[in-house]
Copies of this chain bind each other. A is one copy, B any other.
Amino acid sequence: MFFKVSKRELLNGLNIVSRAISNYSPLPAFSGIKFNVNETDICLMASDSDISIKTYLSARDEYHLEIIRTGSIVIEAKYILDIVRKMDTDIIEIEVADGCNVKISDENSEFNIIGMYANEYPLIDFDKSEDFFTIGSTELKKIINQTIFATSDKDTRPYLNGINFFIDGDNVECTATDSYRLAKTSFKINKSFNYNIIIPAKSLNELMKSLDEDKEIEVYLSNKKVLFIVDNTTIQTRLIDGKFPDTKQLIPESFAYELQLDIRDILGSIDRVSFIKNDGVNIIKLDLNSEESILSSKSQDIGSAIETLRTAQFTGDNLSISFNGRYVFEAIKAINSSTIVFKFSGEMKPFIIQGVEDDKVLQLVLPVRTYL
């Protein structure tokens, strides 16, 4: 294996695939990046078995690619990234000299790194299914951002550790819940399928980091894995086994109380009182009546805080309701609307939060019982 390539493009490719590498991978090979050099292009690949990323450096002009000898090798990601990033040159040469010794060089610098044989790297299959749709990366990011925070990070119910994509015809419903709160949104696709899959939150987080520009993404569906293809890059994630709970019956349909207010007003108030914690949790109480809407929080050790919600417009009988401040803060942050509305059906009933200007996103939070 021996090739020359643009430093900038190589570094870019290495940065893309290295996102798949986990610090906690059980398999030593997964700390490396696999180089596969063909007659016409170079494939870089990395994986942690849950998520796998490959990208191609091809014979396009800007790559300044010159392939002298084909072959493959695995190089420790942290070393190759550090070396390539710091090299002060336009063109880098990489050569596997004897065995698995890799020489990385330019005019003034020469690095000799001990690599790993490519056949010791696990076989990763990037086969695509026939079912795919396209979506803009900005829209996909928005959908993920509006729901991902509500996924569970506990190990007890793995099927809550991802976002459920329920595809029924051309309608895709995305739902995440950790059983204390739920976030839901939907979008239309230009095809028609039936899938009910759970994509791991961890993979979607890595996917989002890879989507900096606004680009068309091809999403290939199957019941085992999903592939996202953007330009030269394929990001593949396994799916979570298990059945996502049916959440429809959780969402109340009629509401006796409604609180409408400015999004900055409520976010500012929750943020200010968030330092008041009991056992690490910030519990917030809303006292609502036709005269005034008061948000408060207190703790024996720290003290108390009282906020008047200036922009609040409340309809319904007097209501006092308590909830986890962080859950409601994150739910509201995911709503893209300058005015939001809380809809309550009772002190101990789940309540929903929606945007007045955009009601596609639905946020649901369970209240908590307090004795304060």
Task: Tell me if A79 and B302 are in contact (CB < 8 A).
Answer: yes
- With contacts A86-B268, A272-B83 known, is A109 near B310, CB below 8 A? no
B residues near A271, Cβ cutoff 8 Å: 86
Could you say which of A111-119, A140-148, A164-172, A205-213 contacts chain B? A111-119
Q: Which of A107, A110, A275, A303 has the most CB atoms of chain B within a 10 A radius of its CB?
A: A303
Residue of B with least CB distance to A298: B112
Query: Looking at chain A's contact residues, is the secondary structure mostly helix, strand, loop, or mixed?
Result: mixed
Residues 2-42 of A at the B interface (beta carbon under 8 Å): none
B residues near A86, Cβ cutoff 8 Å: 268, 271-272
Task: Tell me if A268 and B82 are in contact (CB < 8 A).
Answer: no
Residue of B with least CB distance to A108: B308
- With contacts A88-B268, A272-B86 known, is A111 near B79, CB below 8 A? no
Count A-side interface residues using an 8 Å CB cutoff. Answer: 31
Number of copies: 2
Chain B: minimal CB distance from A96 (Å):
13
Residues 42-93 of A at the B interface (beta carbon under 8 Å): 78-79, 82-83, 86-88
Chain B: minimal CB distance from A337 (Å):
20
A216 adjacent to chain B (CB < 8 Å): no
Chain B: minimal CB distance from A242 (Å):
40
Task: Tell me if B307 and A109 are in contact (CB < 8 A).
Answer: yes
A112 to B297 Cα, complex, angstroms: 10
Task: Tell me if B305 and A114 are in contact (CB < 8 A).
Answer: no
Contact with B along A260-282 (1 / 0, CB 8 A): 00000000110110010000000
Residue of B with least CB distance to A305: B111
Chain B: minimal CB distance from A191 (Å):
47
- With contacts A109-B307, A310-B108 known, is A83 near B268, CB below 8 A? no
Contact with B along A90-108 (1 / 0, CB 8 A): 0000000000011000011
A108 to B293 Cα, complex, angstroms: 11
A301 to B28 Cα, complex, angstroms: 14
A351 to B308 Cα, complex, angstroms: 68
Task: Tell me if A275 and B109 are in contact (CB < 8 A).
Answer: no
A304 adjacent to chain B (CB < 8 Å): yes
B residues near A230, Cβ cutoff 8 Å: none
Chain B: minimal CB distance from A363 (Å):
23
A150 to B113 Cα, complex, angstroms: 32
A229 adjacent to chain B (CB < 8 Å): no
A356 adjacent to chain B (CB < 8 Å): no
B residues near A114, Cβ cutoff 8 Å: 301-303
B residues near A307, Cβ cutoff 8 Å: 108-110
A286 adjacent to chain B (CB < 8 Å): no
Having A78-B275, A79-B275, A111-B306, one finds 15 other A-B pairs with CB under 8 Å, namely A79-B302, A82-B275, A86-B268, A87-B272, A101-B303, A107-B308, A108-B307, A109-B272, A109-B306, A110-B305, A110-B307, A112-B303, A112-B304, A113-B302, A113-B303
Sorted nearest first, the 10 A-B pairs with minimum C-beta distance are A113-B303, A86-B272, A110-B306, A112-B303, A108-B308, A111-B305, A112-B304, A82-B275, A109-B307, A114-B303
Could you show 10 A-B contacts with beta carbons less than 8 Å apart? A79-B303, A83-B272, A86-B268, A88-B268, A108-B269, A108-B308, A109-B272, A109-B308, A111-B272, A113-B302
